[in-house]
Amino acid sequence: MNTISPWLIRLSGDDASRIRLFCFHFAGGSALAFRSWAQFLPSFIEVIAIQLPARDGRYGEPALTNIPQILDALIPELTPYLDKPYLVFGHSLGALIGYELIRAQRRLRLKPPELFIPSAHRAPHLPARAAPTYDLSDEEFLVRLEAFDGTSREVLDNQELMAAFLPRIRSDFRILETYVRQPQAPIDIPILAILGQDDPHVSETELRGWGEHTGNFRYRLFPGGHFFIETAKPELLNLIKHECEILRSHLPTEESDMLAYLFPGQGSQYKGMGGVLFDEFPELVEQADGILGYSVKALCLEDRENNLGKTQYTQPALFVVNALTYRKRIRDTGEFPAYCAGHSLGEYCALYAAGALGFEDGLRLVKKRGELMSRASGGAMAAILNLDESSLRQCLIDHGLTDIDIANYNSASQIVISGSKDHIVRAEAPIAALGAGFHPLNTSGAFHSRYMEDAKREFREYLGSFRFAGFRCPVIANVDARPYRESAIVETLSRQITGSVHWKESIEYLLRQGVTRFEEIGPGEVLTKLVGHIGKTFRAEEVQEERTFESVEQRIDHWNKTYPIGTKVRVKGYDGPLETRTSAILLFGHRAAIYMKNYNGYFDLDDVMPLARA
């Protein structure tokens, strides 16, 4: 055990541990409540307990009486330690503080936890059952305190101990009992709520209320009362260990060799794709045949009726082959990706690989999507080579072709347009006159354009009947080249039908996150070639942008959207390059600051300049 700062007590593990577990203690407790956890948890888990003022090691400091006070002081201390995957655990009062910490981190655009485990506390939007106790007389307060079973009779009867203990626990109870939740959107990270099944202060129904604060909710009951974390400690820590092991299994094997899996979409299919995979995964193939009503193996390997090129057949076939390829990759290598992305249809395979979609549900969605898109008629698409977006748009405007949409931003030298057949045909001559390549595509409709609005509307309704699980790793969405939000999966998938595929921006985003390896999972090498082109043209700006920001918050927001954690930077007064270990944050209400690896203090963002990425 060692003290990192007055707020942070490391109980086990070290900087080399792959995962951090932050623990928030209950009212009246301290970081020492988690001291024994070290003997139960493996070394890959670093346990850091949060120590509030006015208790062990901090007796000279006044107790704090509301959560904003706590977070204002805690977040600058905690932020340098968000540089690796982490979980947040909080028991009773600690659950409430942990919840508000996560909401504050979202406002500050700090890295969120992989999992939040609130323990023995009702969902934060639910009213308290009992009247406040923090302002009762000492005698009445002690009676109520005894009902929580967290303080022994010997301690309650010891007047000397209670003289020191009562002010602290009154302050903690005041935090609990005066808390008022301010409405915000769900926190959008997985929540695993836990409770002692005999807890007299929190019901199972109140615990399940945490599900309203996330799109990925689970809960579990343990034997015991309010302090089951002591009476059922081995069972609790086995659960935490299990969750950490799952998280670790999906981390890249080497942080310096970050891997992304890419899944191709329509256009990559060919007769013979899948090969022996159909025989290696017979159970999945049987499930697919049952959903599709025909043999997917025969479609891919024989295609006797020439259906493989038809959208309603192409999309399910590619989903199955991509999924089987992914399963084989994991079986043979055990190498899970840090990120997933898919081009158009391939995005469903990325969601499957990330755990958000099951195989059967994913195939049902793709089957429906293919059927709806195949109904669109009168549309066409074309690939435009060696013409930048601005020139292309101006050309379309100049020739009255404004009902043509950009379907795909594939690379700096390849853009795909989509629209009515007549207008696509009319666009060829003026585009070719600019020296660009014009290549009509063999598609049945104007995909990823306004002409798919009817399909989008019907698919949105169909999506509403499906449930999605949590993400094992981020999936980059086509529509905005940013990671999916778990609360917006349905909206994002429905938008994708009419929206552009921002593939170039997606790969650039992954490069900024530090991805160094891209593996195409599925037939062909279309995406591999595109990544090669994008990588050659991608360069991070070597000098800091000369911009005027209206506020320090705007400056922080711009930095965090542009430069990921781990960005190499130059800092005034330092000879060599440094590397950021946090997002930019607001300190003291007015200063934009950031933390660097191997340095404890913060750096003023005005002194920091990003380096070019090779």
- List the catalytic residues: 344, 448
What φ, ψ does residue 438 adopt, rounded to 5°? -130, 115
DSSP, res 378: S
Q: What is the bridge-based pairing of β-strands 8-12 and 2-3?
A: antiparallel
Asked if 100 and 71 count as a contact pair (C-beta separation under 8 A), the reply is: yes
Provide CB contacts within 8 A for 331, sequence distance 6+: none
Q: What is the bridge-based pairing of β-strands 217-222 and 191-196?
A: parallel
Q: What is the DSSP string of 443-477?
A: -SS--SSGGGHHHHHHHHHHHTT------SS-EE-
Based on DSSP, count helices (H) and strands (E) in the chain, helices before strands.
21, 22
What would the two tokens of residue 521 be? 């999972």
Taken in order 559, 564, 569, 574, the sign of the CA dihedral is: positive
Q: What whole-number distance in Å separates Cα of residue 399 and Cα of residue 482?
A: 34
DSSP, res 209: G
DSSP, res 110: P
Lateral strand order in the sheet of 86-91: 2-3, 8-12, 45-50, 19-24, 86-91, 115-119, 191-196, 217-222
Lateral strand order in the sheet of 591-595: 585-587, 591-595, 602-604
Nearest to 346 by CA among 500, 501, 514, 494: 501
Nearest to 296 by CA among 316, 277, 268: 316
What φ, ψ does residue 608 adopt, rounded to 5°? -110, 135
C-alpha dist (Å) from residue 260 to 324, 412, 489, 513: 17, 21, 20, 11
Enumerate the H helices of 25-158 as residue ranges. Answer: 67-78, 93-108, 138-146, 153-157
Asked if 109 and 42 count as a contact pair (C-beta separation under 8 A), the reply is: no
Nearest to 324 by CA among 268, 263, 270: 263
Q: What whole-number distance in Å separates Cα of residue 116 and Cα of residue 133?
A: 28
Nearest to 218 by CA among 228, 205, 208, 229: 208
Taken in order 317, 322, 324, 325, the sign of the CA dihedral is: positive
Q: What is the DSSP string of 408-450?
A: EEEETTEEEEEEEHHHHHHHHHHHHHTT-EEEE---SS--SSG
Which residues sit opposite 222 in a β-bridge?
196
Provide CB contacts within 8 A for 231, sequence distance 6+: 196, 223, 224, 225
Q: What whole-number distance in Å separates Cα of residue 443 and Cα of residue 54?
A: 69
Asked if 125 and 2 count as a contact pair (C-beta separation under 8 A), the reply is: no
